[in-house]
Homo-oligomer: A and B are copies of this chain.
């Protein structure tokens, strides 16, 4: 699809690590890896014959694509400190606008992989939706070509919409994982193993791969089964915050179920 590119990675965290592996597997050439920790830069760079650095001033020209995969709070600073060159610069942050590049580097865009990355788990990049935005159609084409070279689908999503997407992802991933954690707390108190819930957790996620969440909703709240809800609230009385969470969620489920959609 895309001809092979030379890519420099600014960042060596979870996202950069997974992208590096996918870029290499797709035949792209990694030129340099920057991290503020030289150790991390070296660890990642050495796997792909790239040059490590912990100096932004040492980020060289010659790559076609510069991927900025650093923490939100340092992104703008890192961009400002990187020497200008002729490549396309793109960041991978869900919540940061494309405008962070403005006034610094004209050929820019956003290359946001909508997935949760942990170093301990490999991710099939071909199943990750890439949300793209670019300063012009030329840069868009380069970014979508790189996504396609990974076997992945890409979607044009402008900065404002991407913020909403990131907010939705917080609900669907971070908050969901916290509910798993709440469930484990409840089991812990009864010395029940978390593994009991694993098939249920997986099936709940698999259901909405085909159904809409509203169609898939089950449980006491959707039919507002007052007996069970009251009983559960009593059981949670020793933990007022979990109790209030139960209350808010049950009410919202019932409200959503009562709406036409």
Interface residue ranges, A against B (CB under 8 Å): 72-73, 95, 114-116, 118, 120-121, 123, 127-129, 131, 155, 157, 161, 163-165, 167-187, 189-190, 192, 194-214, 216-222, 225, 227-228, 231-232, 235-236, 241-242, 244-246, 248-249, 251-253, 255-256
Copies held by the complex = 2
Query: Which single member of B163, B169, B209, B221 contacts A235 (CB below 8 Å)?
Result: B163
Asked if B252 and A182 sit within 8 Å, CB to CB, the answer is yes
Chain B residue with Cβ nearest A247: B248
Chain B residue with Cβ nearest A208: B180
Asked if A228 and B72 sit within 8 Å, CB to CB, the answer is yes
Report whether over half of chain A's contact residues are helix, strand or loop; otherwise say mixed.
Answer: helix
How many angstroms between the C-alpha atoms of A205 and B127 in the bound complex? 15
How many angstroms between the C-alpha atoms of A255 and B242 in the bound complex? 12
Chain B residue with Cβ nearest A127: B199
Q: A201: which B residues are within 8 A, CB to CB? A: 172-173, 176, 205, 208-209
Asked if B248 and A192 sit within 8 Å, CB to CB, the answer is no
How many angstroms between the C-alpha atoms of A128 and B175 in the bound complex? 25
Show 26 A/B contacts (Cβ-Cβ < 8 Å), sorted by A.
A72-B228, A115-B199, A116-B207, A118-B211, A118-B216, A129-B196, A129-B199, A155-B196, A165-B187, A169-B200, A170-B219, A171-B179, A172-B183, A172-B200, A173-B219, A174-B218, A175-B249, A177-B208, A177-B218, A178-B249, A181-B214, A183-B213, A202-B205, A205-B205, A241-B251, A241-B255
Q: A157: which B residues are within 8 A, CB to CB? A: 192
* Distance (whole angstroms) from the CB of A173 to the closest CB of chain B: 5
Asked if B190 and A180 sit within 8 Å, CB to CB, the answer is no
Q: A207: which B residues are within 8 A, CB to CB? A: 116, 118, 121, 177
Chain B residue with Cβ nearest A229: B170
* Distance (whole angstroms) from the CB of A71 to the closest CB of chain B: 9
> A95 and B249 in contact (CB under 8 A), knowing A203-B123, A213-B177, A241-B255?
no
Asked if B174 and A190 sit within 8 Å, CB to CB, the answer is no
Q: A120: which B residues are within 8 A, CB to CB? A: 211
Query: Which single member of B185, B213, B227 contacts A178 (CB below 8 Å)?
Result: B213
Asked if A176 and B174 sit within 8 Å, CB to CB, the answer is no
Q: A177: which B residues are within 8 A, CB to CB? A: 204, 207-208, 213, 216-218
Asked if B204 and A190 sit within 8 Å, CB to CB, the answer is no
Of listed A157, A235, A249, residue having the most chain B CB within 10 A:
A249
> A252 and B245 in contact (CB under 8 A), knowing A128-B199, A197-B169, A197-B172?
yes
